[in-house]
Amino acid sequence: MSLELKPKKWAGAIREVTLGAGSRRPVTVGGGNGLPLHTFEASFPHRPAFALEITDIAPPRWIDTVRQPWNGVLGQPAAAARRAVDEFGADLLMLHLVGTHPDRGNRSPEDAAADIRAVLDSVRVPLIVKGPGAGPKQNDVLARVAEECQGEGLALHSACQEEYKTLAAVAVAYGHVLVAESPIDMNIAKQLNILLADASMDLRRTLIDPLTGGLGYGLEYTYSVMERIRLAALGGDAMLNSPMICLVGEEAWKAKEVKASGGVHWEVATAFALIEAGAEVLVLRHPESLARLRKQVDCWFGGDTCR
C-alpha cells in the first residue's frame, strides 16, 4: 500500500499588513494561505517578524535576567532602540509607554511624543507603540503620538471593543496601523474588526492581538483561540483574517518560574508555540530569545536544510 497525502487547500488566506511607512523600512506580515508553518503544502510570502520591547522609563517590573542585556540603556528609548536594532537585530521595535500610566509616573502625551520622535530619529525599523492601557490616558497618549508621527505607519497598541473610535479615527487620519485587542475570544475579535471596518479602517491596516497567556499562565487558551481564528480566516472569514500579534515578553517574564529556571527557555517556548498557532508579529524582551527564534524561522522559511 503506498502512501498518498493530498496537500490541504483553503478558500481564504491571511491579509497582508505592512508596518512602517514614511522614513521607515517597511515590514510586511501575513499573506499565508495555509496553516501556520505548513510550508510543505501552502505558500507564505512573509515570515513571522520579531520585535523587541523597549520602554520610556526604566521598567519597574522586569527581573534581572531580562534587564541585563539592556544595562545602561533602560529607560533611554533612543539608545535602547539602537541596541535593539544594531546589536540584537530586531525587525521591529515596540516602545511601551509605561511611564505615561497614572500610577507609574503619569508622563504627559507630549513627553511620549518626544520619546517616539527620538526613537524614530535613531533607527529606521517600524515602530509599535503601546500606550499605558485602558482608561482615558490611553487615547490621549496614542492620539498625540499618532499626530506627531503622521505618515510613519506606526502600529498603535491597542484598541478594544469598548474603546476603539478615537484610535480608529487617528489611525485613519494619520496613516497608522491599529492593533485590535480582544480578551482571548474569537467572537469579540471578529466583532471588533467589523466595528473598525464600519469606522472606515482599512483592514489591511489592522492586526489582531488575541491577548497572550504566557507559558503556564493561560498559554493554552491563547493557543486554541488563535488556531480557531486561523481556521476561520482560512475558511474565508474576511473579518478574522488579519495577522496576529502576540506580546510574548511581558507575559512570559511574568511567570514566577522564570526566576528559578532559565527565563529564555520560557520566552522561547511561549513564542514558538504561538508561532505554531498563527502569530505573525512576536514582541520579545530578551535578545537571546530573538536570536534563537530567528534561527529557527530563517531555517524554516529559508529553503535550505539546516540544523
Partner 1 sequence: MPLTGLQVFKLLPNTNCRECGYPTCLAFAMKLAAGKESLDKCPYASPEACAALGAASAPPIRGVTVGRGPRAITVGEETVFFRHEKTFVRRPGLFRVLGTAADRDALLDAWRALRIERAGEVFQVDGVAIPESPGSPDAAAAASERGFPVALLAATPEGATAMAERIKDQRPLLVPPAGADLGAYASLAARLGVPLVVSGADLNALATAAMDATRAGVTDILLEPPGADLRGLHHSLSAIRRGALDRIHPGLGHPVFLRIAAGEFEKAVVGITKFASLLTIEDHGGETWLPLWTLRQNIYTDPQKPLQMQPGVYSIGEPDATSPLLITTNFSLTYFIVSTEVEATGLACHLAVVDAEGLSVLTAWSAGKFSGDRVAKSLRAMQATERVSHRIAIIPGYVSVISGELEDALGDGWRVLVGPQEASDLAPFFRDVWGAGDKPPNLP
Contacting residues toward partner 1, per CB under 8 A? 1-5, 8, 35, 37-40, 61, 103, 213, 215-221, 223-224, 227-228, 231, 254-257, 260-262, 265-266, 268-269, 272-273, 276, 292, 296, 299-300, 305-307
Q: How far is the CB of 298 from partner 1 (least distance, A)?
A: 11
CB of 96 to partner 1, least distance (A): 14
Closest by Cα among 6, 295, 108 to 116: 108
Choice between 52 and 219, CB closer to partner 1: 219
Nearer to partner 1, 82 or 228 (CB): 228
The Cα 32–Cα 38 span in angstroms is 9
Smaller CB distance to partner 1: residue 202 or 257?
A: 257
Distance CA 247, CA 157 (A): 10
Q: Strand 49-55 vs strand 92-96: parallel, antiparallel, or unpaired?
A: parallel
User: What are 148's three cell numbers?
Assistant: 506627531
Grid coordinates belonging to 144: 498625540
Residue 183: Cβ within 10 Å count:
12
**Interatomic CA distance for residues 177 and 168, integer angstroms:** 9
Of residues 203 and 225, the one with the C-beta less far from partner 1: 225
Q: Give the residue with the Cβ less far from partner 1, 72 or 303.
A: 303
Nearer to partner 1, 31 or 218 (CB): 218
Distances from the Cα of 45 to the Cα of 39, 48, 256, angstroms: 10, 10, 38
The Cα–Cα gap between 152 and 70 comes to 26
Smallest distance, partner 1 to C-beta of residue 4, A: 7
Distance CA 112, CA 102 (A): 13
Half-sphere exposure of 100 (CA within 13 A, CB side): 30
By beta-carbon proximity to partner 1, the closer residue of 148 and 209 is: 209
Q: Locate 215 and state its grid cell.
A: 507559558
Query: Least Å distance between CB 14 and partner 1?
Result: 17
**Cα dihedral 196→197→200→201 (10° resolution):** 70
